[in-house]
Structure 1
Amino acid sequence: MAILGLMRWGFVATVASLSAACSLMPASGPNQDAVRSSEAGSEQSLPYALVKVTPDVERVLASFAPRLTDSATQAFKRPPTEIRFGIGDVVSVTIFEAAAGGLFIPIEAGVRPGNYVTIPNQNVDNNGFISVPYAGAIRAKGRTPAEVQQAIVDALKNRAIEPQAVVTLIEQRTSLISVLGEVNAPSRFPANAAGERMLDAITRAGGPKGQGFDTWVMLEREGRRTTIPFGQIVYEPTNNVYIQPNDTIYVYREPQTFVAFGASGAQGQFNFEAWRISLAEGVAKAGGLNDSAADPAAVFLYRGESREVAEQLGVDTHRFPGPVVPVIYNVNFRDPSGYFMATKFQVRNKDVVYISNSQSVESAKIMQYIRLVSATVNDPIVAATNGVTLRTAIKTSP
């Protein structure tokens, strides 16, 4: 019996030593210590940077939030431009003279409404010209109406009596704006000479089909593209830029989502259901922190940041290959101010929110496992002991 007892306790001690590292215990992810100690990475894992969320970190991230005011998209922030003629536009030309007896108005002109003549409407030809009698071919492509008028006057001033010209765009076929995708009336329409902004163009196409919080707008101009949430155009007027002729606007719906794991009330993928949400709102969507399991100091958000952003956050980017730096942000909800941080920290599309278990939960798992192993080993010993006791009692009975 003494030998069996020693074997039992030796086995239990072995299990306890193995369980101390928690490697045998089921878990939904790493604990806080593992996240901090594994930051440098290894040959088998990906290195990452651990960044504590502070007001300075939030200011850096806010300055790099996607918007049309970024330096990379300054080409889209231009004032409205004048409408210029293009090949295929239908143009009307009216020529005035100061008195009858000139080039266009004869002396005996009869009853006329005025000293002018209107040339039949004509298209800007494939070479970019229109034809004006006695002036010849006048270049119209790439010119404004005022510039074409001046060219006609210059060609006629030595032949007509103080000529004046009025050039009118009858049908606009080149300076067009296209609005496609998730709008109620996709169309291609002439640009407004007075200038119009992006929301004006989307309105002319019937407006977005959805509520807007999961709607994105892509603007293409001169071979360049930029994409922005529809809500950011509505709530930040600086992003509601002027539309230029021949711009293409593509409106599409792409629900923004994040994933929650660990000791949250619910796990899985969640839709923003808004054009942007804070980390506090994201944790709330996932059911908050599990009161019986979560470590409030170990709320983490996983995201890939650009090297420029990582450098501004104080991360040593030399140890990270490639343009994207894996970053884990940490918010401490044990600190009352952590909730203020979480209300300002913006969740982005495809972020991963992970809440680690408390150390006490992991210790309880170990103790329960040891108790299970101990009971498993002890059961046959107890049975054997009870058998010996029973046989002894039978032998000693009268």
Structure 2
Amino acid sequence: MAGTLAACSLPQAGPTKGQIFDGSLQKDGDAFVVSVNDRVTRATAVVPALGFSSDFRTTPQLTSDTIRPGDTLGLTIWENVDDGLLAGDVGNSTALEEVQVDSGGYIFVPYGGRIRAAGNTPEQLRAVITERLMDQTPDPQVEVRRLAGDGSTVSLVGGVGAQGVYPIERPTRTLAAMLAKAGGVVIEPEIALVTVIRGTRKGTVWFQDLYKDPNLDIALRGGDRILVEEDSRAYTAIGATSQQARVKFETKNLSAMDALAQVGGLISVSSDPTGIFVFRNEKAAIANQVLGRDDLQGAQRLVYVLNLKEPNGVFQARDFVIHDGDTLYVTEAPYAQWSKSISLIVGGLTPIANVATLTQ
């Protein structure tokens, strides 16, 4: 029976720890196998570089002092005569509601004609209208109010409470305030990403960073598109783990220990805590730093080895950062292979049935 088992390959979840080391470049394989230590952990602790460019961060907030094309204005004109040019049957005031500033920046005022509004403050426009009407009616009094308009709106889509188009008003001139106006984010805040698209430019930040770094709470501009979406990063877990699957990140920074916990941790009767491997295509700059070289070019295949039985093994696994696209593989313990052998010996199967089962 021992000879029969020796001639056959027992079923297993993947390569053994020894087979992975045998496939290293050090032994004419195609990947560098590296044991994780403090230096390796620091060199590979890279997270996605997110943020807004200086163009976004230095844009000043919109103010109600400057009128722009697309804005909507409200005008009220009082005349100092009983039967004025604009006054109706009751009172001597005339309200002109929702006066649209056209694409050229002009508005039309009865008896005042076409007047340039864009670029002026409400006070400056009030003076211009007053001067225009002065020749038509004695001592006119004008009030100009700047309302929200189509030229000062942003669109919000994705994981927000209420998707839609929102005007940029006094309380909602910044990104965080506008998100609050839309009902906040409805996905897990820790993995929520906020992207602002302005023309051909765009920037992305973590939602939680908006409240940690005031510089990221940028001022909005009319036409901005805001997208809130869930982090799409994922890793693959295979081998002797409680779950084998492609798993999405649940935190902004995911450690190897967190990744193991997400798939149910190690299996006490079959997992080898000394054989936890992370397969990764590493950038040349990081690979050179990890390996202490300077001649590598292009992406390199690296296999990082974690040993939880080492004195600081758990700390290493807690500090080692998992990257998007990583493959986390846990080898089976030698005991697991021995258990399979014993179960076949004492399982009541004939030698011929054993061979057929193993072949399948």
TM-score, length of structure 1 as denominator length: 0.62
The whole-number CA distance in structure 1 between the counterparts of 2:120 and 2:307 is: 61
Shift of 1:280: 1.2
Shift of 1:210: 3.8
Q: Which residue of 2 aligns with 1:242?
A: 218
Q: Any residues of structure 2 matched to 1:58-97 within 5 Å, and which?
A: 58-62=41-45, 64-69=46-51, 73-78=53-58, 80-83=60-63, 84-92=66-74
The whole-number CA distance in structure 2 between the counterparts of 1:144 and 1:37 is: 75
Aligned counterpart for 2:21 among listed residues 17, 36, 39? 36
CA deviations 1:18-68 (Å, max 9, x no partner) are 77xxxx44332223333334343999x9x4444443334444444x42253
Q: What is the one-letter code of the residue matched to 1:77?
A: R
Q: What is the one-letter code of the residue matched to 1:34?
A: Q
The alpha-carbon distance between structure 1 residues 363 and 336, as it changes in their structure 2 partners (threshold 3 A), is same
Q: Are positions 1:341 and 2:316 aligned together?
A: yes
Contact kept? 2:62, 2:219, Cα under 8 Å: no
RMSD (Å) for aligned C-alpha atoms: 5.0
The alpha-carbon distance between structure 1 residues 145 and 330, as it changes in their structure 2 partners (threshold 3 A), is farther
CA deviations 1:240-288 (Å, max 9, x no partner) are 5224113211223467644322222443344555555432122133333
The alpha-carbon distance between structure 1 residues 195 and 186, as it changes in their structure 2 partners (threshold 3 A), is closer
Q: What is the one-letter code of the residue matched to 1:88?
A: G
The alpha-carbon distance between structure 1 residues 346 and 319, as it changes in their structure 2 partners (threshold 3 A), is closer
Contact kept? 1:317, 1:325, Cα under 8 Å: no
Q: Which residue of 2 aligns with 1:332?
A: 307
Q: Which residue of 2 aligns with 1:113?
A: none
Aligned counterpart for 1:176 among listed residues 146, 149, 153? 153
How many residues are paired up?
Answer: 334
Aligned counterpart for 2:165 among listed residues 176, 180, 188? 188
What's the secondary structure of 1:177's corresponding residue? strand
The alpha-carbon distance between structure 1 residues 315 and 123, as it changes in their structure 2 partners (threshold 3 A), is farther
The whole-number CA distance in structure 2 between the counterparts of 1:276 and 1:187 is: 31
Q: What is the one-letter code of the residue matched to 2:310?
A: D
The whole-number CA distance in structure 1 between the counterparts of 2:39 and 2:174 is: 34
The alpha-carbon distance between structure 1 residues 82 and 286, as it changes in their structure 2 partners (threshold 3 A), is closer
Q: What is the one-letter code of the residue matched to 2:36?
A: V
Aligned counterpart for 2:179 among listed residues 202, 209, 224? 202
Q: Which residue of 2 aligns with 1:53?
A: 36
The whole-number CA distance in structure 2 between the counterparts of 1:306 and 1:238 is: 32
Which structure 2 segments of 5+ residues have no match? 85-92, 353-360
Residue identity (%): 25
Q: Any residues of structure 2 matched to 1:282-301 within 5 Å, and which?
A: 282-301=259-278
Contact kept? 2:50, 2:206, Cα under 8 Å: no
Q: Any residues of structure 2 matched to 1:114-193 within 5 Å, and which?
A: 120=96, 122-130=99-107, 139-141=116-118, 143=119, 145=121, 149=125, 152=128, 168-193=145-170
The whole-number CA distance in structure 1 between the counterparts of 2:149 and 2:282 is: 45
Q: What is the one-letter code of the residue matched to 1:78?
A: T
Question: Larger deviation: 243-252 or 129-138?
Answer: 129-138
Q: What is the one-letter code of the residue matched to 1:336?
A: P
The whole-number CA distance in structure 2 between the counterparts of 1:342 and 1:135 is: 75
What's the secondary structure of 1:125's corresponding residue? coil
What's the secondary structure of 2:275's corresponding residue? strand
Question: Larger deviation: 297-306 or 251-260?
Answer: 251-260
Contact kept? 1:266, 1:286, Cα under 8 Å: yes
The alpha-carbon distance between structure 1 residues 318 and 195, as it changes in their structure 2 partners (threshold 3 A), is farther
The whole-number CA distance in structure 2 between the counterparts of 1:369 and 1:73 is: 63
Q: Which residue of 2 aligns with 1:381?
A: none
The whole-number CA distance in structure 2 between the counterparts of 1:266 and 1:192 is: 49
Contact kept? 2:238, 2:329, Cα under 8 Å: yes
Contact kept? 1:331, 1:341, Cα under 8 Å: yes
Q: Which residue of 2 aligns with 1:380?
A: none
Contact kept? 1:299, 1:355, Cα under 8 Å: yes
Which structure 1 segments of 5+ residues have no match? 1-7, 97-103, 110-116, 378-398
Contact kept? 1:85, 1:174, Cα under 8 Å: no
